A = this chain, B = another copy of it.
Amino acid sequence: MFGARCLLRALRSCSSAPCPRHRPAARVSVRGALGIQSANGERVKVQGWIRSVRSQKEVLFLHVNDGSSLESLQVVADSSFDSRELAFGSSVEVQGQLVKSPSKKQNVELKAEKIEVVGNCDAKAFPVKYKERHPLEYLRQYPHLRCRTNVLGSVLRVRSEATAAIHSFFKDSGFVHIHTPVITSNDCEGAGELFQVEPSSKIKVPEENFFNIPVFLTVSGQLHLEVMSGISYTEAVEILKQASQNFTFTPEWGADLHTEHEKYLVKHCGDIPVFVINYPLALKPFYMRDNEDGPQHTVAAVDLLVPGVGELFGGSLREERYHFLEQRLARLGLTEAYQWYLDLRRFGSVPHGGFGMGFERYLQCILGIDNIKDVIPFPRFTHSCLL
């Protein structure tokens, strides 16, 4: 983005010689323009969407926003610029001079010399209306247009920043990022409520199943992360803090009524990270343990495939324990499907544990957004898969 400092440097460099009139105007973001403390006629070009139009007898006022700032830039133009095309929602490119604004509402405004309409907007048909604060439920009908509003634009930006922060946290803590698969033949939680994946009828494959076996959208990457606990053997302080340093950030699907959305889960095996300290108890899933262990209220978790065999994960893997797990899987009729799971425990298993955090629930919590559909760029749920 072309910031204010950049612009000032560019302008300063031409201050010793008179700027020729034909020098192209420096492009500046709305944020950059608004950040200039004492505007003095700098020639700039601003691109953005019209957020308001006010037409007076001799002057035309536009507010232009490009997404770089919640605030818009006031454009002041001669009324001769007025045109039906300068409508709410249209995208424009404005060239002119940045000057000190006579109004107290803003420091700076753009005196237009040239206004070009880049993309017309049929403001009557545009579902986003001028000056209206649309309810989130209303905007949900227009997933292709709602990012043009302040609220959704902000939510998506916070989502992006939160994603980056989580990636940074794990990277800085020495974790390895693993892309766990979206398609799986595992039925991890035994829930049976899964989405099946099959080639559409247009694909000609002689077999009944493209992959030879039925496959599903994953409901959890935890088993795949367990596999990856073999990538490094790291600090093991106690069972709930033992680290296999890998994590994933993969969408997961459950088909039950409460979690039918695409969910991005932050999963990791290892030390309890910073952001789980003070994790809201109300959002705590059943498998997270309430530590109640100090001034900072923390939760921790070990998520187990087979309940009651927690001791398998810590300490030495003695033969009798292995056989206990073997028999349990046999009783469930899972021996063949989960031979690999037994294998992990046959060939030098190490203590490991972890937890999952619903990324969207986390976003709801920090943003105060009631409905999970409003923190997902393109939500999918029963009866709805728009776009």
Contacts and interface: CB of A to CB of B under 8 A. Distances in A.
Interface of A: 1-2, 27, 29, 47-50, 66-68, 89-91, 116-122, 125-126, 128, 143-145, 147-148, 153, 156-157, 159-160, 163-164, 167, 171, 174, 176-186, 192-203, 205, 207, 210-217, 223-224, 227-228, 230-236, 251, 253, 255, 262, 264, 315-317, 319, 340-341, 343-351, 376-378, 380, 382-387
Contacts of A66: 232-234
Given A164-B167, A179-B251, A197-B197, A231 B67 contact: yes
B349 A230 contact: no
A317 B349 contact: no
A2 to B, nearest CB: 7
Task: Name A's interface SS.
Answer: loop
Nearest to A157: B176
A276 to B, nearest CB: 20
Given A344-B144, A346-B125, A387-B224, A196 B199 contact: yes
Contacts of A147: 227-228, 230-231
| Identical copies of this chain, number | 2
B343 A233 contact: no
A1 B172 CA distance: 10
23 contacts: A1-B235, A2-B235, A47-B233, A50-B348, A68-B232, A118-B315, A118-B350, A119-B345, A119-B347, A120-B346, A125-B347, A143-B340, A144-B227, A147-B228, A147-B230, A147-B231, A182-B182, A183-B262, A205-B382, A210-B255, A210-B383, A212-B384, A215-B385
